[in-house]
Amino acid sequence: MLEGLDHVEWANLWACGWATEIPQLLRALASPDKAVRQEAWEKLPHRLVYQGVSIMEATSYAVPFLLELLTAESMEEQTDLLCLLATIAKGGAFLIMTMRMRRRPLPPFRRR
């Protein structure tokens, strides 16, 4: 999982600062430890989509790895990941805000 992550020159990419932290955050999303995943969820969306509206340079490099994480059997936050990917595709804050403010959980993502 996440092969090729270390082949990206993250130190030369911008994500609200140099993107050197992005590989660790992506790996943390795959962690079996919920607290580690939660900490990554608190940081990664803001590094990839600045202030909910600006897509950072490193974001396009992170997307293939986010898609790979989406297909992982162990990914518990599939709905959140789909919302992040949709927000990146849209280039706006609506879905991230929806993800954070929803009062009841969305149905889980189902593989076909």
Q: What is the pLDDT of residue 99?
A: 52
Reported pTM = 0.79
Segment-wise mean pLDDT, segments of 10 residues, the chain, 112 residues: 94 92 96 93 92 85 96 87 90 54 51 49
Please count the CA atoms within 13 angstroms of the CA of 71 that sit on its side-chain side.
Answer: 8
Beta-carbon contacts of residue 24 (< 8 Å; ≥ 6 apart) = none
Q: What is the pLDDT of residue 91?
A: 76
The CA-based angle 28-31-33, given to 5 degrees, is 110
Q: What is the pLDDT of residue 104?
A: 47
> Dihedral through CA 74, CA 21, CA 64, CA 69, nearest 10?
0
Q: What is the pLDDT of residue 28?
A: 96
